[in-house]
Structure 1
Amino acid sequence: MSGCVFCGIVAGEVPAFRVADEPDGVAFLDTRPVFKGHVLVVPRTHLITLTDVPATALPGYFGLVQRLAVAVESGLGAGGTFVAMNNKVSQSVPHLHTHVVPRTKGDGLRGFFWPRTRYADDAEAQGYADRVAAALAPAAA
């Protein structure tokens, strides 16, 4: 897509520190990493959110993400990884991308990047669970 920096990286028109270039996607270092070695994984096709990915492409794309999570951990001697994806809100580039961030114990990253909350009680929690399940049911049918 014209003007998309990630499409430019996939096409080789925009420079990037590539980590992987495969049929299922391209991975490269984030230019503003949470920690050094923070990798972004993008599909070759311009897709904006996870819901835009065809079901047939999911195994290949997430297989690449999974392999990169292992590679970031073992290649950098990290204790683990944080794997995340934004859809629309807080999505800095409107091209689907998955973050694979190296983690070490005591690295200062605390859970998620936003404040946490609680449900008032079990009934409220069940109400939310029921609403999501009801919205999921038609997709499963």
Structure 2
Amino acid sequence: MSLNFDPQWLSRYPAQEPVGGAVSSCVFCGIACGDVEAHVLAETADTLCFLDHLPATYGHVLVVPKQHFQDLLDIPEESFQHVMATAKQVANALRDSCGASGINLVHATGQAAHQTVFHFHVHVVPRYDGDSIVVFPRLADPTRKHEVAQRLRTALNAPQPPKTEAESSQA
């Protein structure tokens, strides 16, 4: 039996092609600099949070770094930590102000993961009892756990290449 999982919400987003380094067409950069209208909720020196324009649930928020990074593989650790700290604050606010009984943090890196805006962002999705959203439809073959575990152990324990001089100076 083959399942074809095509969430309806995805088709409502126009796909934005990755633009190698150019951020002029990035809608989230436009929101961060005030050129694009959004329901901005709060900001820190490094992050901005605003309502998703096509929310999955009541109170669905996006948290972005103000600086442009394409995705999870591009964002520096320090900026990632700032986004996650802001996402946690938003989650607490959603619980306290909107009565959320749960929270999903959702991120997509790459077109295969359905990333539609190529500026790193985290969805903070409040969950309510009975909202019927399925986050993980469980489509992978569970009998392949041993194989994937071995692959990941090998990759995670592999020696890391030495940092370049430019990377070392950023740390």
TM-score w.r.t. the length of structure 2 is 0.74
Q: Is 1:24–1:64's contact at 8 Å kept on the other side of the alignment?
A: no
8 Å contact kept, 1:72–1:102? yes
Any idea what SS the aligned residue of 1:2 has? coil
Residue 80 of structure 1 aligns to which amino acid in structure 2?
G
Partner residue in 2 for 1:96: 120
**Which residue pairs with 1:9 in the alignment?**
31
Structure 1 residue aligned with 2:46: 24
In structure 1, what residue type is equivalent to 2:142? Y
Which aligned segments of 4 or more residues in structure 1 are displaced greater than 4 angstroms? none
Report Cα offsets for 1:56-79 as digits up to 9, x if no partner.
Answer: 223222111111111112111111
RMSD (CA atoms): 1.7
Residue matched to 1:137: 157
Q: Which amino acid aligns with 1:73?
A: R
Deviation sequence 1:68-103 (CA, Å, 0-9, x none): 111112111111111110001301111111001111
Q: 1:8-87 to 2 correspondence within 5 Å?
A: 8-87=30-109
Give distance in 2, aligned partners of 1:140 and 1:25: 29
- The 2-side partners of 1:105 and 1:42 are apart by 27
- Give aligned pairs, total: 137
**Amino acid in structure 2 at the alignment position of 1:68:** V
Q: Which amino acid aligns with 1:109?
A: I
**TM-score when normalising by structure 1:** 0.88
Equivalences for residues 103-118 of structure 1 within 5 A: 103-112=127-136, 114-118=137-141
**Structure 2 gap segments, 5+ residues each:** 1-22, 162-171
CA contact (8 A) 1:30 1:40 kept: yes
